[in-house]
A and B are shown apart, each in its own frame.
Chain A
């Protein structure tokens, strides 16, 4: 079985944001790492692959050179092969534009299964995976928290609101979006981290996938007009002082609030 795991080198904003023009964050204000959800989708892929000899887990990302770090992390955890697609025209691409690039890659690779994270921790669109399924006309299940191989297909549990779940069967090829907590992602050993660089890894441009900047722009679902700190209304009244002083004030508020 060949499993494609699209991953994202995701950004985290710590402290005060700095801006680079009206519609982008200064990248120096960001910390980057493998998207939290993708550690779970990769682990799910590896577990399925380990159950069937001759399986391959292919990780792919759309990202600049910095994103190599996340691909290497995936190879170190045990992915077999990595592909990175990049073109400067992809800077700031939205979920649908990224899905169009991944669709072209998936058509080239013909995986039996695609496991994508439910969402990325930075943009949180929760859209790329299911958009990809749409473009490839694949059956899909979103927000999956259990997977079992079931003959030629899969039996999976998808999360419903309020803690309920629906168990459904789908045939393959298929795409699932994977929720955190579905498994316990493994850590890479030191030896595996060293070995990761010797695993097959490929860099592609848009032309290699039969795409160009115009095609990606047309696939985009939106344009970012502006990016700013949100209006926050009043916000919280901040309690200052030592931990003891803060605790004393919290105790007061709690006692008063519970009595009310």
Chain B
């Protein structure tokens, strides 16, 4: 049981950017003594993506051709089980992404492996892995270890680890598995994201509203404020789920990733899924009534206040 196996993620646009972060995190573990670093690629055309993941520190790239063009969770499950069986890695790293969530916990449970998801820190300590993750809406941080586990499968939060870089000299191998019978779901349709009437990714100034707005009737005054400020209105998931704001305006993992000059967040607590979509805004200002709201950890400016009172005063400022 040694070494780190990174499970590269390939989607419709090729290798996901998060894969370089997995490799960066894996390399750091290897430098701390976890053993050699390998990257596995599962896809119908996995062999054509090896150059992208041949980064510094990668010793081997294992290509696993799959029978389906698209990602299929049951195929990934069988393939990862076979990879773990064949390589016996001490650590497997994959992304905490919608695709991984469809198979990684199943592999861990069936195999009796160690498991942690949404990890934001990793360390190789005294011959074993220690992972750090959030708890209670990221208000606390937990440290986990994995006693008596020969293999530990960890899903890493995107954006939490520095990406690997540089050129590697990996050897490339192929693992041929009989996966023909593995798919257990059949694609009917692929739906693109709703485009709507607005492109929040183009805005310099976003006025973004969240769960703190607990009444649909308060939305118009915030729309008016956005108009006065010259801002585009965006929102976090709960308001989109409630149908108060259109899906095209949703910021976050399941919405859009935005990088405005200024992001003014009113009543947004800063759940991981939201932060994933806005943490790279140049200036973040957060107004929230909860002084412990995680958004204050990533904002440059914060105010603990009633958002409607501040909004009313902002109307005056931009009157």
Physical interaction between A and B: yes
**A59-B153 Cα distance, complex, nearest whole Å:** 30
Closest chain A residue, CB of each to CB of B282? A257
Given A160-B98, A167-B191, A254-B285, A227 and B142 contact (CB-CB distance below 8 Å): yes
Is B74 in contact with chain A by the CB < 8 A criterion? Answer: yes
Chain B residues lying within 8 Å of A257, measured Cβ to Cβ, are 205, 261-262, 282-283
Beta-carbon contact of A258 and B204 below 8 Å: yes
Is A11 in contact with chain B by the CB < 8 A criterion? Answer: yes
Given A127-B117, A257-B261, A258-B205, A16 and B292 contact (CB-CB distance below 8 Å): yes
Chain A residues lying within 8 Å of B145, measured Cβ to Cβ, are 222-223, 225
Partner of B103, one of A96, A130, A221: A130
Closest chain B residue, CB of each to CB of A155? B188
Beta-carbon contact of B106 and A162 below 8 Å: no
Beta-carbon contact of A254 and B229 below 8 Å: yes
Beta-carbon contact of A253 and B136 below 8 Å: no
The B25-57 residues at the A interface (CB cut-off 8 A) are: none
Partner of A163, one of B131, B256, B306, B317: B256
A 113-141 to B, binary, CB cutoff 8 A, 1 in contact else 0:
00000100111111111111111000111
Chain B residues lying within 8 Å of A170, measured Cβ to Cβ, are 184-186
The B284-311 residues at the A interface (CB cut-off 8 A) are: 284-287, 290-292, 296-306, 309-310
**A140-B184 Cα distance, complex, nearest whole Å:** 8
Beta-carbon contact of B237 and A11 below 8 Å: no
Is A250 in contact with chain B by the CB < 8 A criterion? Answer: yes
Partner of B194, one of A95, A96, A133, A163: A163
Chain B residues lying within 8 Å of A258, measured Cβ to Cβ, are 204-205, 230, 261-262
Is A247 in contact with chain B by the CB < 8 A criterion? Answer: yes
Closest chain B residue, CB of each to CB of A128? B105
Chain B residues lying within 8 Å of A47, measured Cβ to Cβ, are none
Is A211 in contact with chain B by the CB < 8 A criterion? Answer: no
Beta-carbon contact of A238 and B142 below 8 Å: no
Q: How many A-B residue pairs have CB under 8 A?
A: 284
The B172-189 residues at the A interface (CB cut-off 8 A) are: 184-189
What is the interface of chain B mostly: helix, strand, loop, or mixed?
A: mixed
Stretch at the interface among B58-66, B85-93, B215-223, B247-255: B247-255
Chain B residues lying within 8 Å of A238, measured Cβ to Cβ, are 296, 301-304
**A47-B301 Cα distance, complex, nearest whole Å:** 45
Q: Considering residues A100, A164, A181, A254, which has the most beta carbons from chain B within 10 angstroms of its beta carbon?
A: A254
Is A142 in contact with chain B by the CB < 8 A criterion? Answer: yes
Is A207 in contact with chain B by the CB < 8 A criterion? Answer: no
Give, as a whole number of angstroms, the nearest-CB distance from B306 to chain A. Answer: 7
Given A124-B134, A142-B98, A143-B98, A243 and B309 contact (CB-CB distance below 8 Å): yes
Partner of A131, one of B105, B248, B299: B105
B 91-111 to A, binary, CB cutoff 8 A, 1 in contact else 0:
000001110011111111110
List residues of chain B with CB under 8 Å of any chain A CB. 70, 73-74, 77, 96-98, 101-110, 112-118, 130-131, 134-147, 149, 184-194, 204-205, 229-230, 237-238, 240-242, 247-248, 250, 253-257, 261-262, 264, 272, 282-287, 290-292, 296-306, 309-310, 312-314, 316-318
Q: Which 8 A-B pairs have the closest CB atoms?
A: A134-B106, A181-B241, A221-B115, A163-B193, A236-B302, A247-B313, A131-B109, A127-B105
For the A-B complex with A141-B73, A225-B143 known, give 6 more contacts whose Cβ atoms are closer than 8 Å: A95-B117, A99-B109, A166-B189, A167-B191, A236-B301, A250-B314
